[in-house]
Amino acid sequence: MSNESETEVDEETADEEEQAEGLQKGDVVKLAYTARTVDGGQLVDTTDEAVAEEDGIDTEQQEFGPRTIVLGENHIFPDVEQDIYGKEVGDEGNVTVAAADAFGEYDEEEVRTVSKDKIPEDDRYPGAHVDIEGEHGHVETIIGGRARVDFNHPLAGEDVEYDYEILEEVTDREEKAQGIIQMMLDMELDVWFQTDTVEEEQLVESEDDEGEDEESEPEYETVEVEKETLYIEATPQLTMNQQWMMGKQQIAQQLTQLLDIDRIIVQEEIGGGGMGMPGMMGGMGGAGGADIEDALEDADVDAEEIVEEIEGAEE
């Protein structure tokens, strides 16, 4: 019995070691994939432009190509992610994701009647996609002053089949940063890493003396520390990006964690004269943010005077 137990333990250990040798949580990979509904074969998503064209998708409205994902960060359905763990570059897979784990089961209670006045006049027809009080749905029917709207996801109740291929494991830091930003914001940006030496105020720790006043103010000293920094080149497209405008702090936090850095600085070039105005975006590890107005105030610079000087130079 003892030998059998030892054999079972050895087999389990070998399985764990084999699993650990493949791709694991935190790895960054490039995937090619196509996802279709199991019932009907409706195209859900693909990285292949030719596949999209065959299904009548307007390929001019979006870009196609391998997708960069971070395993373990819910960038793809968990069932697909689990199938990738332990595999190697070049491996392929086929996974069926149940409706409940894909876009949810179809819920009849999510089909509701609303006043048609809540729907923009141009969208008052069956099949129109509408947003009503923060919920997205599509119009089923309009009768009189009432509309029947289905707030289920269009693919609710559908099992989804994924065919994928692991094309590459991304290890280069800049390529990894660009891939993650591309995934988050759907745009390519120039990035680079740099170790900066900056000054910080740190609390001076001292042993308490018996006669020391407990209410005395804490003492600070200025020290130099190194900060591993990701610089991102700002573009007009970035400043107008909806995801960026609504969630830059959350994006910064994710990037600092995934890339193991101290802070992020978004750098904008103004006027083409080589003058960069960096705007630091708060991240992890005590990397606080500062907007342009605060920076100008700290430097004792009048923003209105700068604007007047620029306008005068242009004239």
- In this structure, are 53 and 34 located in the same domain? yes
- In this structure, are 73 and 127 located in the same domain? no
> CATH code at 113?
2.40.10
**d(C-alpha 60, C-alpha 292), whole Å:** 37
Total domains in the fold of the chain: 3
- In this structure, are 162 and 74 located in the same domain? yes
**Residue 4 confidence class, pLDDT cut points 50, 70, 90:** low
Of 53-67, 182-196, 222-236, 270-284, least confident by mean pLDDT is 270-284
Q: Is residue 298 part of a domain?
A: no
Q: Is residue 296 part of a domain?
A: no
What residues form DSSP beta bridges with 271?
A: none
Q: What is the pLDDT of residue 239?
A: 85
Q: Is residue 311 part of a domain?
A: no
- In this structure, are 32 and 165 located in the same domain? yes
Which has more confidence, 86 or 188?
A: 86
CB 94 within 8 A of CB 152: no
Q: What is the pLDDT of residue 21?
A: 82
- In this structure, are 51 and 165 located in the same domain? yes
**d(C-alpha 149, C-alpha 138), whole Å:** 6
Q: Is residue 288 part of a domain?
A: no
- In this structure, are 64 and 164 located in the same domain? yes
Q: What is the pLDDT of residue 309?
A: 56
Q: Is residue 73 part of a domain?
A: yes
Q: Is residue 94 part of a domain?
A: yes
**Residue 183 confidence class, pLDDT cut points 50, 70, 90:** confident
CB 223 within 8 A of CB 200: yes
Q: What is the pLDDT of residue 163?
A: 96
Q: Is residue 129 part of a domain?
A: yes
Domain hosting 119: range is 108-150
Range among 17-21, 40-44, 225-229 rated most confident: 40-44
- In this structure, are 68 and 163 located in the same domain? yes
Task: Give the dihedral sign, CA 251/257/258/261.
Answer: positive
Q: DSSP for 199-266?
A: EEEEEPP-PPPTTS-TTSPPPEEEEEEEEEEEEEE--HHHHH-HHHHHHHHHHHHHHHHHHT-SEEEE
Q: Phi-psi category of 182—alpha, beta or left, where left has phi over 0 and alpha has psi -120 to 50?
A: alpha
pLDDT digits (tens, 9 = 90+) for 146-162: 999 999 999 999 999 99
Q: What is the pLDDT of residue 304?
A: 59
Provide the CB-side half-sphere exposure for 108 (13 A, CA).
0
Q: Is residue 139 part of a domain?
A: yes
- In this structure, are 144 and 164 located in the same domain? no
Range among 46-50, 176-180, 256-260 rated most confident: 46-50
Q: What is the pLDDT of residue 284?
A: 36
